[in-house]
């Protein structure tokens, strides 16, 4: 979804490797013998869960991996994929639960595979990442404690990435990238995917408010590198028992750095709040817990805080509009593409109906309760 409007090129962009072809890739590019392989859900790349047969050469490494095959558009920007790989390794070295990256038999972090498709010969970048343990946050009931921890994680990620350096770092300045939160106005060209209804009316209003009230404030936000997609399927958790016998969850994995770009601290917390609302039974109350966690690392300025409501609405619009458009291109992937839409439209309408002042009151009051040691 990140480049261009040509529907055919978009339809061709997602790889369609079979299990057998993917196994052969792992063996030829990474020199590992596959014992089991199965597809994983994905947006516009292709992912496989790969189990490796143990040999004398592989006893030291992981036995489970994720094979990532980038779509044809992403594969045209190998420098961006390289930066993503180095960020993953940098964060792992800094103590974050990110994947390790397996080198190819040629000693590289990625391989480039050309697939004969007749007149066109598309090329796909392939990577092999260690498989991380845990369950997606989407599958467990979210508690205030977990939401706070996830907010804190988002803050620590952005803080740590300020120390990251790489010769290709400028590749993260993705000015026309549809998923960068500042690009909400680019959704205008995809609105026909919504038809004529209240959903479309809300999106049109959000886009206009975004132009008037967010784009005019960007110079007042503090810039940083954003993960940009801390959604409830990209954060894995494992449980342990507390002293009282109930389950306490710790983050065990951070996935998918494919939407990384330069943005702002307030973008990261807004994106995280929006995705943590998706499966919540009291979605409007989520924001305060996530915000408190984030601000325990990076307190927002008053101008950043005042933008939070519209930024969360903007991310809902990005996710919902792009999913509707992608469904037209990839109807076979509808179940995965429409995960957010199942509750997202309802949450966005609720926020809009309540209004900025009422939602902010709940968020900021909840966040303030952490200062006094009484979480709500």
Tokens of 47: 């992912």
Residue reference for tokens 């205030």: 144
Q: 136: left (phi > 0), else alpha (psi -120 to 50), else beta?
A: beta
Question: HEC string of 260-303?
Answer: CEEEEHHHHHHHHHHHHHCCCCCHHHHHHHHHHHHHCCCCCCHH
- Are 336 and 42 within 8 A, CB to CB? yes
Residue reference for tokens 């057998």: 20
Interatomic CA distance for residues 216 and 151, integer angstroms: 26
Tokens of 144: 């205030």
Catalytic residue among 158, 229, 232, 259: 229
**Catalytic status, residue 212:** no
DSSP annotation of 220:
G
C-alpha neighbours within 13 Å on the C-beta side of residue 35: 8
- Are 250 and 236 within 8 A, CB to CB? no
- Are 235 and 255 within 8 A, CB to CB? yes
* Distances from the Cα of 79 to the Cα of 50, 83, 109, 247, angstroms: 25, 6, 11, 42
Q: Is the dihedral of CA 111, 115, 41, 261 positive or negative?
A: positive
- Are 44 and 78 within 8 A, CB to CB? no
Class of residue 92 by CB neighbours under 10 A (exposed 0-12, middle 13-18, buried 19+): middle
Query: Which residues of the chain form beta strands (DSSP E)?
Result: 34-40, 46-52, 64-69, 111-114, 123-130, 135-136, 223-226, 235-241, 247-254, 261-264
Residue reference for tokens 């990251």: 164
- Positions annotated as catalytic residues are 229
């Amino acid at each position: 979804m990140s480049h261009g409007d040509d529907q055919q090129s978009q339809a061709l962009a997602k790889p369609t490797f079979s299990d057998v072809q993917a196994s052969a890739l792992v063996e030829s590019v990474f020199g590992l013998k596959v014992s089991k392989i199965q597809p994983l859900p994905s947006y516009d790349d292709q992912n496989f869960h790969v189990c490796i047969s143990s040999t004398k050469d592989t006893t030291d490494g992981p036995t489970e991996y994720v094979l990532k095959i980038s779509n044809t558009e992403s594969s045209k920007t190998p420098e961006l994929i390289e930066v993503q790989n180095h960020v993953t390794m940098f964060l792992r070295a800094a103590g974050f639960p990110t994947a390790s990256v397996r080198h190819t038999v040629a000693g590289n972090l990625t391989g480039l595979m050309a697939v004969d498709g007749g007149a066109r010969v598309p090329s796909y970048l392939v990577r092999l990442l260690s498989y991380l343990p845990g369950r997606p946050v989407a599958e467990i009931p979210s508690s205030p404690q977990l939401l706070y921890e996830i907010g804190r994680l988002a803050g620590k990620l952005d803080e740590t990435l300020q120390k990251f350096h790489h010769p290709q770092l400028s590749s993260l300045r993705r000015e026309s990238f549809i998923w960068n939160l500042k690009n909400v106005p680019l959704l205008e060209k995809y609105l026909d995917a919504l038809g004529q209804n209240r959903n479309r009316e809300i999106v049109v209003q959000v886009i206009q408010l975004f132009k008037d009230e967010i784009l005019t404030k960007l110079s007042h936000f503090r810039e940083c590198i954003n993960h940009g997609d801390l959604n409830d399927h990209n954060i894995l958790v494992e449980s342990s028992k507390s002293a009282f016998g109930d389950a306490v969850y710790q983050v065990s994995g951070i996935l998918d750095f494919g939407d990384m770009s330069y943005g702002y601290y307030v973008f990261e917390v807004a994106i995280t709040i929006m995705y943590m609302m998706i499966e919540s039974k009291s979605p409007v109350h989520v924001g305060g817990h996530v915000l408190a966690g984030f601000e325990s690392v990076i307190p927002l300025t008053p101008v950043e805080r005042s933008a939070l409501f519209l930024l969360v609405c903007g991310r809902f619009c990005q996710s919902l509009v792009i999913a509707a458009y992608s469904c037209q291109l990839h109807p076979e992937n509808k179940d995965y593409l429409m995960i957010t839409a199942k509750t997202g439209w309802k949450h966005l309408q609720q926020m809009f109906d309540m209004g900025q002042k009422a939602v902010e009151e709940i968020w900021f009051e909840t966040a303030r309760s952490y200062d006094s040691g009484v979480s709500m």
